[in-house]
Amino acid sequence: MENLLRPIYQERASRPDTLAVMIIERRNQTSSATDNFDAALLVIVNKTEEPVFVKHYEFDGKTASLHIISVEQLQEWILLGTNRRIIDWILNGKVLFDRNEFIAKLIEQLNTFPFSERKLKIGLEYGKLIRRYIEGKAFFEDGQFLDAYNSIVHALHHLARIEVIDKGFHPEVTVWNQVRHMEPQVYKLYKELIESNESLHKRLELLFLASDFLIHSKAEIGAAHILDVMNEKTVWQFAELLNHPELKYFTADLGVILEFLTEKDLVCVKEIETKGQKIFHRGYFIKKSVDDE
């Protein structure tokens, strides 16, 4: 397969802005890693007009896809986890071209996984976890048990990813295989949800109780990135936090995270006067920052 694709990747490798070329070949008859193509070529470039550009090829009964991505897009995918197979591609793909050891350095970066990056990724997953948990509980209280089941499965996936990141690893597509060895308690919750002989109502009821404890126990690490930002000054209005550059990736879930943290007394609310009578802005602050004054 590599020989068939050689004319394509050699032409790309000859360009000065190309940093690396990798090939990922189909491993099984059904291959989500390559979208069921026989192979995927990954070309990482320094700059490009489009952050992602994809072409499909067919030759001699074989199929292949060409993915040209900017290094900025690559780093964003790794940071946010929005393209989960990219880690698999980088770690398990075959390097065909590597300018100035770009891939070697990237793999070293992935293996090192600095604490600041882990804290940010955990915070993003924690926001998604809280949102899915609240959605699921609302469905459950409304008697919509199948929708509640769907939401809590997603919530458990986010919890699993938090456990993996907290241990210093990047979540893989097969995250439950990782969690089984790293955090048996969370793995057991997932198994009980999908395999228990109890009624769905009972399974969900027990799981919400257990999940509430686990979510609360992860609040300190889950909120660490946001609380670090809030330590910059005493009181924040929501718009100030929303527009803070360190919180730009939290836009969708920042509101639900703050409300959860106020319920857990990790963040407090201060009323700030407005021009309207008996109507106040909400100011958010960390309790200890006021207690210490």
Given 218, 236, 265, which residue is the final one in a domain? 218
Looking at the structure, tell me whether residues 68 and 131 fall in a common domain.
no
Instruction: List the chain pLDDT tens, one digit each, 293 residues.
Output: 777 788 888 888 889 999 999 999 887 777 777 888 889 999 999 988 888 999 999 988 889 999 999 999 999 999 888 888 899 899 989 999 999 999 999 999 999 888 989 999 999 999 999 999 999 999 999 999 999 999 999 999 999 999 999 999 988 878 999 999 999 989 999 998 999 999 999 999 999 999 888 999 999 899 999 999 999 999 999 999 999 999 999 999 999 999 999 998 999 999 988 887 788 889 999 976 444 44
**What is the domain range of residue 278?**
224-291
Question: Do the beta carbons of residue 265 and residue 287 sit within 8 Å?
Answer: yes
| Torsion sign over Cα 286, 288, 291, 293 | negative
Which CATH number covers residue 262? Answer: 1.10.10.10
Looking at the structure, tell me whether residues 147 and 120 fall in a common domain.
yes
Looking at the structure, tell me whether residues 60 and 97 fall in a common domain.
yes
Given 79, 112, 145, which residue is the final one in a domain? 112
Looking at the structure, tell me whether residues 154 and 79 fall in a common domain.
no
Domains of the chain: total = 3
Given 218, 244, 268, which residue is the final one in a domain? 218
State the DSSP string of 133-161.
HHHHHHHHHTT-HHHHHHHHHHHHHHHHH
Residue with tokens 């009181």: 235
Which CATH number covers residue 150? Answer: 1.20.120.330
